[in-house]
Every structure is written in structure tokens, then in C-alpha cells.
Structure 1
Amino acid sequence: MRAVLALVMLAGFFVLGAALTAFLVVVSVWRFRIGDFQGGGWMAFFAASVAVPMLWAVLRAIFARPAPTGIPMTRATHPELWRHVDELAALAGTRSPDDVRLVPDANASVWERRGTRYLQLGLPLVAGLSIGELRSVLAHELGHYGGGHTQVSAVTFRAKVALELAVNQGDFMRLLYGWAKLYALVAASESREHERFADEVAVAAAGQEAARRALLRIGPVGEAWSDYLRWYVSLAVLAGRTPPLLEGFRHYLDHPRRVHELRALEPVLAEQEPTSIFDSHPPVRERVAAMALLPSVSAVSLDERPAWTLLDGTPSEAVAALIEVEGPPITWEELAPLTGHVLVRRYAEALRHAGRVSKVGDTLAAVLACLERGELHRLTGRPVDASLTPEQVHEAAVDTVTELLACAVADQLVTAGRAVLEINWGGLFALRLPDGAAVYPDDLVAPAVRDTSRVAEVRLRLQAIGVDGL
């Protein structure tokens, strides 16, 4: 019933726009007939302000077609992946997709066009989940096929494109914004029902434990992927060289510190996930709780093997192109000293800029003095997101200043020739000192950022490894 209501409201948006246009045209003609040419002209202008954007949006939507992107994963190149897909499709009581693609986002999705089914799998998920967890993700997406959800989305795709384009065309179209928001509310409610149905399929096909763990892990894996792109892949982009990218992400995820961090992040992200009546997905915490009430197939055992083994057959050049990295091959060990100094200088300059803007001062000595006075938030300023709690704001400030201060320390030592940057999968770069000792700058400065009483201790340690001007 909600699906029908959503479709009716979607059609009603354009009926309302057409009715408003017709009304304004009638008023315009009437004003012209009684000799009010100025009023008639204004009414004609308003009618065109509604009709032209809406007509343009409809024409754009008619020719809008979703197109498959990413790396094709065929039955010939990835037979083991397709074995899981076919098995889960049979368990879900639906037909397998016709086309499976690897995409760079930490997400998975399905869609349908003219009877052809497409499945898109995010590289971070395949590289970061276990086979059991990935089977749950696959079963969930196949559940959308079995529930007929992709057929509904295929029908409404162009209409939704037209609605979004129309609402964003000019201030006068804001008159219809309220109706668009009402449609979004109804559509989101229907979409949440689709997600609950797909979750039930995931539990039935892959087991309750796999489904629960996959839901909780997707968010942290997405965060890990963003961090990996920011600190590691960016080195490759700066150098114009191509390291083994999949292997690098596996090294990142397998580091003991990352394993601990990601496990600790699972309940935090689930608990802090914001909710809105316009959300198309129920919150993860609600979905996990609902899964606990569903009957699970006791015979299903969780396959703990890494899902990245299913990527065998994926050319490394294709993976590099997918995340927009190009250039001759290079090892990660060679890459860090080659371009790491450019990256740390960029963040060191960000700290200096923050010091200048806040009037704290742009030297390491000034920043440490600021921390010693308990004025951490002077460096970060007011939060952009007003919905954050004071605790979340403080943690974000601690993390940010720790990163920037560590980069500033690394920048000074590397520039002075007193250290060499090395790759460190458990945090920021490692610094190799002339005596062969390894120093981890983020671990070194973190106590000073978090605890004012330890600034003096950290200052002495920095001086001991050759940091000047403190």
C-alpha cells in the first residue's frame, strides 16, 4: 500500500505542477483581457518559471539511464564469487544477477534495467569482510530482487530524477518543495520496509551471526577505507606511481592496532548513527536488534576466511584505475620516503595555519604551550556539525590535533635530515632515526594533546629526538 501511495504522490507532484502552471496561464490571460498588461506579464512569467524547469527536468529524466560502472566480475574470471552468488540466489528464491561489478565505494547495491539485473559490490567490502559476512551482504541484495524492489525502483527512477531536478531549478519551484518532502517521507518509509525484508532474507540465507556481524562491520570498514585513501593511496597519487593497492589495504586491516580500533568502532558507530524519518534505511542498531528476533538456520556456519580471496582474477591495473591511481609500479616501502614528506608538510602547514588564525602561534613551541594551558579547542574552532555532543566534539578535536601535530614533528625532523619516513600500517608514518630507532610521532604527541599534565614530558621527548625550538 505504501508503494502505491508513494507512486501516486510522485505522479501528484507533476500533476500539481501542471495544475499550478495552468492556473497561472488562465490568470495571465484574464489579466491581459481586462487590460492589465503588467499583471498579465507577471503571471505569464510565473507560469513559465514553473513550466520550463519542470519540462526540462522531465526531458532530462526521460533520457536518464543508470549505467553499470566499475570492474566486470564475470563467471570466467571470478568463478568462486559466482558460486556463492548462485547458491544464495537459490536460497533467496530468486534469479541470479546477470552482471556483477566491483566499484570503489564501501557499499553494495542492485538495480534492474529492461530485465537485466546488475549487482555492484564495493571493493572495500570484498577486501575487508570475511566470506561469511560478504555472503550476508550478497543475500541482502538478492533479497531486493526476490521482493520485487528493483522493479519498483526501475519504474520510479526517472520520475525521482525529474522531481529532484525540478525542485532544484530556481527559487519559484520551492513552492512545490513541501510536496517533494512529503513524497520523500512516504518513499523512505517504503524503502525501510524493503530493507527489513532484505535483512530477513540475509538471516535466512547466510545465518544470524553473519548478518549481524556484516551490518556492524560495514561502517568501520568504510571508515578504514577512507583513512586508507587519505594517508596511503594519496602517497601513490602524489608520486604518480602504483603500489600493490589491494595488498596495502589488507596490511592496513590486519595490523593488530587496526583490528582493535575497528572492533571498538563497531558499537560506537551503531550507537551514534543519526536517525531521521526521511532515512531510506533503518538505523543499524535497530536492524541488528530485529535480526536477533528472527529464526536463524542452525546449519549455517560462519565462514571466517577473508573475502578478498574472491578477488583473485582481478587485474591489479584495473583496481588502480578504479580508485584513480596510475603510474609505474612501486613498493610501499619505496613509496613512503619518496612522497611522504609532501603529505606531512601539507598537514604541518594546516597546523601552522590553525595557529595563526587562532592567534595561538604557528610554531611547535606555541602549540605545545596552548595545549599546556588547556586551550585545545582554540586550535580547532567551533564544530561545523551542530548535532555533535560535547564529547564527540572533544574527541574529534583530539584526533585532529594529534594528527596535525605529529605531521608537524615529522616535517621538521625529515626536513632537517634527522629522520626518514617509513610506512606504518598501524598509524601515521614511522620515523627512522640515524641510530636506527623507530619513532611513531602520533603515539609520541598523543599524550600531550589528551592530557595537559603530560605536555612537559612530551616536550622533553621531542627535544631528545632532535626537535628544535621547544
Structure 2
Amino acid sequence: MRAALALALLAGFFVLALGLLATLGALSYTQFEQGEIVTGGALALMALALGGPPLVAMGIAIFVTPRPSGVPLTREAHPELWWHVDELARIAGTPGPDDIRLISEPNASVWEHGGARYMSLGLPFVAGMSIGELRSVLAHELGHYSGGHTKLSALTYRATLTLRLTTERFDTTGVLYAWARLYALVAAPESRKHELFADEVAVAAAGREAAARAMLRIGPVTEAWSDYLTWYVSLAAHADRTPPLVEGFRSYLDHPRRVHQLRELEPLMAELEPTSVFDSHPPVRERVAAMRTTGALSLVAEAVDERPAHTLLAGTPVADLVGVSGPPITWAELAPLAGPALVRWKADALRHAGRVSKIGDTLPDVLRGLEQARLHDITGRPVDGSLTSEQAHEAAVEAVTELLGCMVADQLVTANRATLELNWGGLFLLRTADGAAVYPDDLVEPAVRDANRVAELRVRLRSLGVDGL
């Protein structure tokens, strides 16, 4: 019933827009016929403002067709992946996809077009999950097939795209936006019901534990992937070299510090996830609770297959997906090649902040500012006004720790007193002439967090060969 109402509202959206265009257009024509040029012109403008946007958006949406993108994962090249997909499709009671593509986004989706079934699978999920967890993701998507949720995908895709384009780009009056919000309010519960159905399929096909773990892991893996791209893959892009990207992400995730961080993030992200009546997906915490208490019969062993899912990729080239090109290079070789430019760039950012805040742009100036408890003068006012004072302070500590660590690294590397090595737990470590390892973030964080420890940092920096303090 609700699904039919949602479709009726979608149709009503266009009927409303076209009705406004026709009615106001007719009134405008009548006014022009009567010689009321000003009134007729005003009505014509209103007709165009209210009825024109959906027509323009509809024209755009008609010619937009969802097309498979990314790297094809064929049966011939990836037999083990397809074996899992075929097995899960049998459990879900549905034909599987005809085409699977690897995409760069942390997402997974299915759709139908022209009688063919397509599946997109995010590289972060394959690289960052176990096979057991990935099976749950695959089973969830196959559940959308078995639930018939993709049958109207072409129609609803174009209709909702038209609605979104209208309200985001063309609607200047707010009338059509209000209708779109009403549609979202009605459609969201039906979409959430679809997601819960697909979750039940995931539990039946992959087991409760794998399904719950995969659901909790999606958010942290997404955050980790973003960080990995920003700090590590950017090194490769800067140097025009291609390191082993999938293996690098696994090294990132397997570092003890990252393991700890991600374990802390899982319950935190689930607990703090905002909710809205317009959400098309239920909150993660509710979905996990339902998975662990569902009456759905698990059709597989509950033990999770802990093997890394990236083994299913079988050497698939992924460099183009993340914008990397150039000759192959190891991560160990990449750090000294591209690292100095990156730490110089971050150090320059701190120098700029020092000049803007009038603290000064040298390392002694920044240390003196920290000693005077001027941390927040360096970072300035928080961009996110919703942060509490504690959250703003923690964000300032993290930002300045990162920048100050890079400033120290820049000085030591420039003076040939240390070299850069890759550190999967914090980007770089400094290797001094005597072979000692120095972790810049760990070195400076106590002083950033506590002004009373700046003197201690100065002593440590002098021992490393930093002059002028």
C-alpha cells in the first residue's frame, strides 16, 4: 500500500508541475488577450518557474541511463568470487547478476537494465573485509533481487532523478521541494523495509555473526579508505608511481594502531549515527540488533571465513580506480621519494597558520605559542559550529599534532639528520643516523596537549639535532 502511495506521489509530482504550467499558462494567455500585459507576463513567469523545472529535469533524466562502470570481474578471471556469488544466489532463491564490476567507492549495489542484472562492488569492501564479511554484503545485495526491489529500478531511477534535479537545481519557489519532501517521507519506510528484508537474506546466507560484523565494519572501513587515499595513495599520485595498492590498504588496516582505532570506531559510529524519518536505510545499530535476534534460519555454518577478501581479486589492476599511474614501486621505496614534499607541504600549512595568528612561522615560534596556551589561536575558530568545546579542542590537538610532526620531520630531513620511512600507523617515521626510529606524532602530541610539556619536547628535539630552539 505504501509503495503504491509513493509511486502515486511520484506521478502526482509531475501532474502537479504540468498542471501548474498549463493552468498558469492558460491564465497568462487570457490576460494577454485582454490587454493585461503586466499581469499576463507575471503569470507566464510563474508558469515557467513552477512547471518548467520538472520538464527540463525530465528531459535530462530520460537520457540518463545507469551504466556499469569500473573494472569487470569476469567469471574466467575470478572463478572463486563467482562461486561465492552463485552459492549465495541459490540460497537467496534468485538468479545472480550477469555482470559484476569493481568500483572505487565504498559501496555495493545491484540494478537491472535491458533484461540484464548488474552488480557493483566497492574496492574498499573487497580490500578491507574478510571473505565471510564480504559474503554478507553480497547476500544483502542479492536479497534486493530476490525481494523484487530492482524490478521498477529503471522507472524509479528516472523519476527520482527528475525529482532531485528539479528540487536541487531548478526549484526557486519551494512548492515542488515540499512535494519532494512528502514523497521522501512516504517512500522512506518502504525503502527501510526493503533493506531489512535484504538483511534477513544476508543472515540466512552468511550467518548472523558475519552479517553483524560486516554491517558494523562498513562505516569504519569507509573512514579508513578515505584516510588511506588522502595520505598514502596521494604519495603515489604525487610521485607518478604505482605501489601495490590493495596490499597497502591491508597493511594499513592490519597495523595494531589501526586495528585499535577501527574497533573503537565500530560501536561509536553505530551509536552516534543520526536518524531522520526521511532516511531510506534504518540505523546501523537497529539493523545489527535485528540481525542478532532475527528468526531467519541461517543456512550456513556460523563460523566466519576469516580469509582476506582481496584474495578474490586475483591480481586485478586497480590503479585507474584511484587515479594512480606510472611505473611500479614498493611502498618502502615510495616514502623517501614522495615523502619530503608532503611533509614540507604540511609544514608550510603550519607556518601559514603561525603567520595568520601572529604567533610566528618558525618551529621555535610555534613551541612558544603552545607554551603560552595559544593552541586555538593557531587553529582558529572551528568550521563546524555544532562541535562541543571538548570536541573542538580534540580536533585542534589532532590538527596541530599532525602539522607540527610534519614541521619537525621537514627540518630533520632537510638537515640530513633523518630519513623518512613509511609508517602504516601514522604515515611516516623518522630514521635517525644511529638507526633509531622516531614517530613524529607521538613525539609532539604530549606538548600539543599539555603546555607544561613543551620544555620536555625542546630537550628531545635538541637531542635529535634540531637547532635554534
TM-score, normalized by the shorter chain, greater than 0.5: yes
Would you say the 8 A contact 2:237–2:324 is kept in 1? yes
Is 1:287 matched up with 2:287?
A: yes
Name the counterpart of 2:307.
Answer: 305
Q: Secondary structure at the match of 1:468?
A: coil
Normalised to the residue count of structure 1, the TM-score between the two structures is 0.95
Structure 2 counterpart of 1:174, one-letter code: G
CA drift at 1:276: 2.0
Is 1:340 matched up with 2:342?
A: no
Structure 1 counterpart of 2:351, one-letter code: R
Cα-to-partner distance string for 1:40-65 (whole Å, 9 max, x where unaligned):
11211222233333222111111110
Name the counterpart of 1:383.
Answer: 382
Residues in 2 aligned to 1:113 and 1:251: alpha-carbon distance in whole angstroms: 38
CA drift at 1:373: 3.2
Q: Which moved more, 1:66-75 or 1:273-282?
A: 273-282
The change in CA–CA distance for 1:157 and 1:322 in structure 2 (over 3 A counts) is: same
Structure 2 counterpart of 1:221, one-letter code: V
Name the counterpart of 1:364.
Answer: 363
Residues in 1 aligned to 2:341 and 2:225: alpha-carbon distance in whole angstroms: 21
Would you say the 8 A contact 2:140–2:198 is kept in 1? yes
Residues in 2 aligned to 1:368 and 1:150: alpha-carbon distance in whole angstroms: 59
Residues in 2 aligned to 1:283 and 1:469: alpha-carbon distance in whole angstroms: 54
Name the counterpart of 1:6.
Answer: 6
Name the counterpart of 1:398.
Answer: 397
Structure 1 counterpart of 2:435, one-letter code: G
CA drift at 1:319: 0.7
Equivalent residues in 2 for 1:18-57, closer than 5 Å: 18-57=18-57
Name the counterpart of 2:270.
Answer: 270
Residues in 2 aligned to 1:155 and 1:170: alpha-carbon distance in whole angstroms: 21
Residues in 2 aligned to 1:288 and 1:453: alpha-carbon distance in whole angstroms: 45
Cα-to-partner distance string for 1:207-261 (whole Å, 9 max, x where unaligned):
1110111111111111111111111111111111111111111211122222122
Structure 1 counterpart of 2:310, one-letter code: W
Residues in 2 aligned to 1:235 and 1:410: alpha-carbon distance in whole angstroms: 16
Q: Which moved more, 1:290-299 or 1:120-129?
A: 290-299
Is 1:177 matched up with 2:182?
A: no
CA drift at 1:20: 1.2
Is 1:116 matched up with 2:116?
A: yes
Residues in 2 aligned to 1:371 and 1:25: alpha-carbon distance in whole angstroms: 67
CA drift at 1:109: 1.1
CA drift at 1:143: 0.7
CA drift at 1:173: 4.8
Would you say the 8 A contact 1:428–1:440 is kept in 2? no
Q: Secondary structure at the match of 2:121?
A: strand
CA drift at 1:141: 0.8
Residues in 2 aligned to 1:286 and 1:198: alpha-carbon distance in whole angstroms: 14
Equivalent residues in 2 for 1:104-183, closer than 5 Å: 104-170=104-170, 172-183=172-183
CA drift at 1:313: 4.3
CA drift at 1:397: 2.1
Residues in 2 aligned to 1:148 and 1:360: alpha-carbon distance in whole angstroms: 62
Would you say the 8 A contact 2:21–2:52 is kept in 1? no
Residues in 2 aligned to 1:189 and 1:357: alpha-carbon distance in whole angstroms: 50
Residues in 1 aligned to 2:293 and 2:381: alpha-carbon distance in whole angstroms: 42
Name the counterpart of 1:224.
Answer: 224
Would you say the 8 A contact 2:68–2:118 is kept in 1? yes
Name the counterpart of 1:460.
Answer: 459
Name the counterpart of 1:15.
Answer: 15
Structure 2 counterpart of 1:311, one-letter code: L
Q: Which moved more, 1:43-52 or 1:458-467?
A: 43-52
Q: Which moved more, 1:37-46 or 1:73-82?
A: 37-46
Is 1:96 matched up with 2:96?
A: yes
The change in CA–CA distance for 1:49 and 1:349 in structure 2 (over 3 A counts) is: same
Structure 2 counterpart of 1:269, one-letter code: M
- The RMSD of aligned alpha carbons is 1.7
Equivalent residues in 2 for 1:255-266, closer than 5 Å: 255-266=255-266
Normalised to the residue count of structure 2, the TM-score between the two structures is 0.95
Would you say the 8 A contact 1:428–1:442 is kept in 2? no
CA drift at 1:150: 1.3
Q: Which moved more, 1:291-300 or 1:412-421?
A: 291-300
Equivalent residues in 2 for 1:237-248, closer than 5 Å: 237-248=237-248
Cα-to-partner distance string for 1:75-98 (whole Å, 9 max, x where unaligned):
111110111111111111111111
Q: Secondary structure at the match of 1:349?
A: helix
What fraction of aligned residue pairs are identical, expressed as a percent?
67
Cα-to-partner distance string for 1:433-469 (whole Å, 9 max, x where unaligned):
1222221101111111222332221222122212233
Would you say the 8 A contact 1:166–1:173 is kept in 2? no
Q: Secondary structure at the match of 1:139?
A: helix
Would you say the 8 A contact 2:379–2:396 is kept in 1? yes
Residues in 2 aligned to 1:195 and 1:397: alpha-carbon distance in whole angstroms: 38
Cα-to-partner distance string for 1:282-309 (whole Å, 9 max, x where unaligned):
1211111122211353733211111111
Structure 2 counterpart of 1:22, one-letter code: A
Would you say the 8 A contact 2:50–2:171 is kept in 1? no
The change in CA–CA distance for 1:169 and 1:269 in structure 2 (over 3 A counts) is: closer
The change in CA–CA distance for 1:368 and 1:186 in structure 2 (over 3 A counts) is: farther
Equivalent residues in 2 for 1:203-222, closer than 5 Å: 203-222=203-222
The change in CA–CA distance for 1:468 and 1:276 in structure 2 (over 3 A counts) is: farther
The change in CA–CA distance for 1:453 and 1:289 in structure 2 (over 3 A counts) is: farther
Structure 2 counterpart of 1:403, one-letter code: E
The change in CA–CA distance for 1:288 and 1:373 in structure 2 (over 3 A counts) is: farther
Would you say the 8 A contact 2:124–2:225 is kept in 1? yes
**5+ long unaligned stretches in structure 2:** none
Structure 2 counterpart of 1:54, one-letter code: P
CA drift at 1:428: 2.3
Q: Secondary structure at the match of 1:165?
A: helix
Residues in 2 aligned to 1:344 and 1:120: alpha-carbon distance in whole angstroms: 36
Residues in 2 aligned to 1:383 and 1:190: alpha-carbon distance in whole angstroms: 38
Residues in 2 aligned to 1:247 and 1:191: alpha-carbon distance in whole angstroms: 36
The change in CA–CA distance for 1:229 and 1:301 in structure 2 (over 3 A counts) is: same
